[in-house]
Amino acid sequence: MTTGLEIVPATERDIPVVFSFIRKLAEYEKMLDAVTATEDILRQSLFGPRPAAEVLLALWDGSPAGIAIFFHNFSTFLGQPGIYLEDLFVDIDQRGKGIGKALLIELARLAKARGCGRLDWSVLDWNAPSIEFYKRLGAVPLEEWTIFRVTGEALDRLAATGA
C-alpha cells in the first residue's frame, strides 16, 4: 500500500466529510445543482436501520483524501452478488498518489471476500482521464448497454399509475 495511505470504512461521524466529497464530485461532474442530499439524509441512508450503501474513506497522512460509495447488487446470470460502485472521488490536490487505485483494490478485495462475481460502475462519457484510468486497471466498457433511470415525477407517476 502507498505510504501515508489508509483505507477505512466510514462511520457515522464521517458524514460531514462524505457529504463534502459528494458535493466536490458533483461540482467536478458539473452537476452540483442535482445534489439534494443532506447530511441528515445521508445519516439515515448510510447508517439507519436499513443501510442502503457503504462508504470507504481514503486517508492520506490521517486527512480525508477520497471516498468510494458502493452497494450490493445481484447478477442473475452469475447467481452471485456483485458490488456496484456508485461514486469514486479523490480530492484534486491528492490525485496521482495511487488513492483511487487503492480504493478500487480494496473494493475488489471486499467483492472477493463477500463472494461477489463482479464489480460494476458507470462513468460519464466525457470523463476521458477516468475512462483511461479504469481501462489501465483491466476494466472494460460495456458499450452495448444503455443505462435507464426513472426519477422524480416520472417515478411518482410510475408508482401511482403505471404510466
For residue 9, report the phi and psi dihedrals to the nearest 5 degrees: -65, 135
Nearest to 89 by CA among 120, 117, 118, 68: 68
Alpha carbon separation from 1 to 4, 95, 106 (Å, rounded): 9, 15, 10
Q: Is 105 exposed, middle or buried (0-12, 13-18, 19+ CB in 10 A)?
A: middle
Catalytic positions are 134
C-alpha 139/C-alpha 132 separation (Å) is: 9
